[in-house]
Every structure is written in C-alpha cells, then in structure tokens.
Amino acid sequence: MSGKIRVLVGKPGLDGHDRGAKVIARAYRDAGMEVIYTGLHRTPEELARMAVEEDVDVVALSILSGAHGTLIPRFIDCFKKEKATQDLDVLILAGGIIPEEDIPALKEAGVDEVFGPGTSTETIVEFTRSHLKRPVA
Amino acid sequence: MGDIAAKGAHELFQGIVQGSRPHLSRAISHVENGARGAAELLSHAYKARKGALITGITGSPGVGKSTLVDGIVRELRKAGHTVGVLAVDPSSPFTGGAILGDRVRMGQGHALDEGVFFRSLATRGHLGGLSRHTGDVIALLDAFGFDHIVVETVGAGQSEVDIMRYAHTVVVVLAPGLGDDMQAIKAGILEIGDIFCVNKADLPGAERTRRDIEMMLDMKEPAGWRPPVTQAIAVNGQGLPELVSEIFRHQSYLVASDTLKEKNRWSYKAVLEEYLRLLTVGKVLELASRDGGLDAALDDLMQGKAGPMEVALKLLQKYWA
C-alpha cells in the first residue's frame, strides 16, 4: 500500500480564468497525484480551510488578476493559523501572471516557487515531486 | 508508506477527540494510505463512535449530486446539526491519479463554518462507487462527533451499490431525460433508494421521471417504508427543505422500527469483509507477485495447464499459511 501525493489547485480572488489551473490539475492527475480543485473565486481563508481538511502535500495557487501580492501572503497566514503551526510542511507554489520583481516578496512570505507563463507542465510536475516537504503519508 | 508509531496514533486520536481539524484530516490520510499505526488509530476511533446518522447520496454522473449535497449541508446547518461530508471521485485506472472536483459546488455559505468538515476521497481502484476505506473514514468522523455524515458516491452507473452498506439513508438522485420506465424496473441502483430525488425539476420530463419511479415502487410488495419521490432544483435550493425533512423522517422510521441497529450491524459486516479481503487476497497477491509465483500461475492458465479455480487454490495453499 502506498500513499498518494495530494495537491490543492486553488483560484484565489476575483479572477475568472481557470484554463491554466485546469491544465495543471490535469498534468498532476496524469502524474498519478490526487488533485483537489477548489473552483473559482475562493478567499484566502477558504483556501486555507480546504488545504487543511484535504491534508494536501502541495498547494498550487493560480492567479492572473494582479492581486497576488495581497492574496497569497494572506493565504499563507491563514494556513499557518488553521494548522496551528509556524512551520508548514506543505509545498506552496504560485503560477500565473506574476512580474519578476514581485517574486522575492512572495518567497519571503513563504512561497516555495513561482512559475510564469510558458513553463512546461513537466517542469512543474518534476519540481513538485522533488521538493515535497514531508514524506507522503 | 507512512509510519505513525504507537504514540503518533494515540496523539492523533487525542486530537480528534479534542476537535482538532488538522488531526482529523491527518488521521484520514493515514487510514487511506494504510500507514503503520492506522489499525491502532482505528481501534480507538471505532470504540469512540458516537452514533452519527449517515446519509448516502448517489446517482449518475452529472445529475447534480454535489450541488444537492451543498444544499443538504445548508439545511442541516439551519436545523442546528453539525455535518461531516465525504465526497468520492474516481481514480484514473491508468495513472492512479484523480481530479477531485466536488468542492467546486461547495457554496461560500459554509466554506468556513466550524460545524462543517469536507473531505474528498479518490476511489484508488476500488469498485462499487466508494473508496476502500469509506467505512473507516466514517468512523473517524463519527468519533470526532458530527451529528450527520453525508457521503457522496462517484457518479454511479447501475450497480455501484456499496453505499447501501454504509449509509442509514440512501438518496438516489435522478435527472429528467435519462431513460424510460424500462430503466426504472432494472435491478441495481434504483432498488437501493430510501428516498428518490428528481433533480433539475425545471427541465422538461421531470414529471415523467417522477411517475416512472412511482410506478416502479408501486410494483414492489408494500413493506414498511415506502420511498418518497421528491423533486428539487438544487442550484437555487428549491425542494431542499422537503428533501431534508424526508431524510429526517426516514431516520426516525429507522429508529422507531428498530432497523437502525440491523443496518449498523450490516455495515460493520461490510467493513469486516473488506479487511478479510485485504488480509487474505491482498496478502496472497502481494507475496505471489514478489517471488514470481503469480507469473507462474498466469503461465499455467495461459498454456491451459490448469483451470483458474485450481490455480487459485494452489496459490492460496502456497502463500496463505
């Protein structure tokens, strides 16, 4: 019996474009992972609750609205609060339209990697597999 | 494989009893993955069960199960009950991966409600419409203390009827336009409904679907509970209060007629059977594929040297001592 890597693919905020999120979800699925898709327009609080209840190993947030600087750090704060720990053992990824100069601040806030447009799904899946922060249960 | 040492299992269980969400969700993962220590964790959980009422929601893909579950949760919360939800979606037979999309329909209303817990499960190759550990996960939710547990099956075809083993009340969801009265008298999923709900009742043909089901029910010998046929438009909440009051009515009937105990016994039997299969068939397959015994047995079958029953007996004798 073996565990499965579980991934929450989330769409925070007022952003109605989820083709990218669905392509990523599909790529993770084809890599044998269990993907929980949140649907559109989720608040950081809701995403944090979902990530806890689904006990995911990875959270991948897709955001194209430009609000990443607010929503993603807020998600990480909520997630720590929900998990009652400062020391998250969950890999946190962001993707979408995120300018280069915003990336350091996101990493400072706790994002492990940011993937921009044109990144291949293989790259994302490989990165995810090799950077898990805990052994799969 | 994960490893929760004896202390870990105890700690997880303590967390569950104290109402910690992260502990509950971690415990579910350990049980799903068959981690070491899961057996001990489950022993604690089964002993601590509080007797939640369990409702199963099943029906074909696309009839609106997830949207209906969202509405049922809303009504149960209005009535002051806490709710644990398990939503099962299929795993890919090729990669073992899955997309669990039942959360998409979950309204904002109770996404942050402390009285609701939602978990998506993948079937991981298990047939029958549920995941192998559904019974165990129900026990964990029950030990946590939810008043109601709602289990949504995968989009079911005609014979995914496992849910009847685990739920006190089975709601079979239908939508108009998916078949005539011939479909309605076939064996399988339509036999297991304690309640029927014709969803998307604003579409043409809803009344016809309702009548087909009523006719099917008319043909059965009247005995005890006559399943009601309700109608709903889940997207706008229409018909949900009626559906939930039928669920309550059925559960009162189970208590009054003393069939609740019988049902519980039956569902323990399902859990027990699952473990017996895992410990026997699972063990034989694992051992036989490790040392080539399984390949040799398949060669014998391919070359017509022996029949399947004979080969299976040999495997059992060799690996099951």
Question: Residue A117, exposed/middle/buried by CB under 10 A (0-12, 13-18, 19+)?
Answer: exposed
Give pLDDT tens digits for B137-156. Answer: 999 999 999 999 999 998 87
Asked if residues B206 and B289 have their Cβ atoms less than 8 Å apart, the reply is no
> Does B128 share its domain with B24?
no
CATH number at residue B181: 3.40.50.300
What would the two tokens of residue B289 be? Answer: 């594929």
- Asked if residue B1 has pLDDT above 90, the reply is no
Sheet containing B98-100, strands listed edge to edge, beginning at the edge strand earlier in sequence: A113-115, A91-96, A58-63, A6-10, A34-37, B98-100
pLDDT at B18 over 70: yes
Residue B128 lies in a domain: yes
In-domain check, residue B264: no
Average pLDDT of the segment spanning A20-47: 94
Q: What is the mean pLDDT of residues B184-207?
A: 84
Same domain, B110 and B197: yes
Instruction: Indicate whether B116 pLDDT > 70.
Output: yes
Give the 3-state DSSP-derived string for A7-67, with helices as H, strands as E and coil as C: EEEECECCCCCCHHHHHHHHHHHHCCCEEEECCCCECHHHHHHHHHHCCCCEEEEEECCCC
For A29, B89, B92, B99, the CA distances from B95, given in Å and listed in that order, are 8, 15, 6, 12
Structural domain includes residue B263: no
Q: What is the ipTM of this complex?
A: 0.91
* Pair A53, B117: CB distance under 8 Å: yes
With bands split at pLDDT 50, 70 and 90, how would you rate the model's confidence at B7?
A: low
- At CA B186, angle to CA B184 and CA B187, rounded to 5? 125
A13-17, B107-111, B184-188: range with lowest mean pLDDT: B184-188
Q: Residue A64: what residue type?
A: L
Chain B: give the shortest CA distance to residue A101, in Å. Answer: 32
Alpha helices in chain B (DSSP H): 6-17, 21-32, 38-47, 65-78, 134-144, 163-166, 181-184, 206-219, 240-256, 259-277, 283-290, 293-302, 308-319
Over range B171-176, report the average pLDDT: 92
Mean pLDDT, to the nearest integer, of A54-62? 96
Which of B237, B257, B277 is a domain's end point? B257
Contact B22 A52 (CB under 8 A): yes
Indicate the angle between helix axes A68-83 and B21-32, nearest 10 degrees.
Answer: 80
Structural domains of chain A, ranges and CATH numbers in brackets: 6-130 (3.40.50.280)
Residues 6+ apart with CB under 8 A from A65: A13, A14, A15
How far is residue B314 from each of residues A99, B209, B289, B311, measured CA to CA in Å? 65, 51, 14, 5
pLDDT band at B46 (very low <50, low <70, confident <90, very high): very high
Q: How confident is the model at residue B180 (pLDDT cuts 50, 70, 90)?
A: low
Condensed to tens digits (0 to 9), the pLDDT of residues B290-301 reads 999 999 999 999
Q: State the Cα–Cα distance between residues B198 and B207, nearest whole angstrom.
A: 9
Range of the domain at B123: 50-257
Question: Rounded to an integer, what distance in angstroms lies between the CA atom of residue A117 and that of residue A126?
Answer: 17
pLDDT number for residue B4: 62
- Are B29 and B114 in the same domain? no
| pLDDT beyond 60 at B184 | no
| Same-domain status, B139 and B188 | yes
The conformation of residue B221, written as its DSSP 8-state character, comes to: P
Instruction: Please state the rounded mean pLDDT for residues B215-237.
Output: 90
- pLDDT tops 60 at residue B2: no
Contact B269, B287 (CB under 8 A): no
- Say how far apart CA B284 and CA B4 lie, in whole Å: 25
Give the pLDDT band of residue A1 (cuts 50, 70, 90): very low
Asked if B118 and A50 come within 8 Å (Cβ–Cβ), the reply is: yes
Which of residues B11, B29, B48 is at a domain's end? B48
Across residues B37-52, what is the average pLDDT? 93
Choosing among B1, B20, B29, B285, which should be mutated to test the A contact, i.e. which has the most A CBs within 10 A?
Answer: B29
Q: How many residues does chain A have?
A: 137
More confident residue, A19 or B182: A19
User: Which residues from chain B sit within 8 angstroms of residue A42, using beta carbons?
Assistant: 111
Mean pLDDT value of segment A83-96: 92
Residues B127 and B245 occupy one common structural domain: yes
Say whether B108 and A46 touch across the interface (CB within 8 A): yes
B57 shares its domain with B4: no
Asked if B174 and B79 sit in the same domain, the reply is yes
Tell me the torsion sign for CA atoms A125, A130, A134, B3: positive
Average pLDDT, integer, range A15-38: 92
Return the higher-pLDDT residue of B200 and B159: B200
Average pLDDT value for chain A: 92
pLDDT in tens, B53-111: 999 999 988 899 999 999 999 999 999 999 999 999 888 888 889 989 888 887 767 88
Please check whether residue B184 lies inside any domain of the structure: yes
SS3 (DSSP) at B117: strand
Q: Which of A2, A24, A34, A75 should we substitute to test contact with B (largest number of B Cβ atoms within 10 Å)?
A: A34
CB of B239 closer than 8 Å to CB of B229: no
The owner of tokens 């409904």 is B193
Chain A residues contacting B via beta carbons under 8 Å = 1-4, 6, 25-26, 28-39, 42-43, 45-46, 49-50, 52-55, 82-84, 135-137
B314 and B216 share a domain? no
Chain B positions with Cβ closer than 8 Å to A: 1-2, 20-22, 25-26, 28-30, 32-35, 91-92, 95-101, 103-106, 108, 111-112, 117-120, 122, 124
With an 8 Å Cβ cutoff, are A33 and B97 in contact?
A: yes
Whether residue B32 sits in one domain with residue B80:
no
User: B44 and B160, same structural domain?
Assistant: no
- Residue B262 covered by a domain: no
> Residue A137: is its pLDDT beyond 70?
no
Q: Is the pLDDT of residue A2 over 70?
A: no
- Mean of the pLDDT values across residues A49-55? 96
- Tokens 């430009």 found at: A66
Categorize the per-residue pLDDT at B186 as very low, low, confident or very high, splitting at 50, 70 and 90: low
Give the pLDDT band (50/70/90) at residue B5. low
* Domain count of the fold of chain B: 3
- pLDDT of res. B74: 95
Indicate whether B120 and B211 sit together in one domain: yes
Q: Do B21 and A6 touch (CB under 8 A)?
A: no
What is the tens place of the pLDDT at every residue in B256-275?
A: 999 999 999 998 998 899 88
User: Does some domain include residue B173?
Assistant: yes
* Distance from C-alpha of B47 to C-alpha of B54, rounded to nearest angstrom: 17
Average pLDDT, chain B: 89
What are φ and ψ of residue B56, in 5° steps? -105, 140
pLDDT in the model for residue B129: 83
Q: Are residues B185 and B93 in the same domain?
A: yes
Confidence of residue B3 (pLDDT cuts 50, 70, 90): low
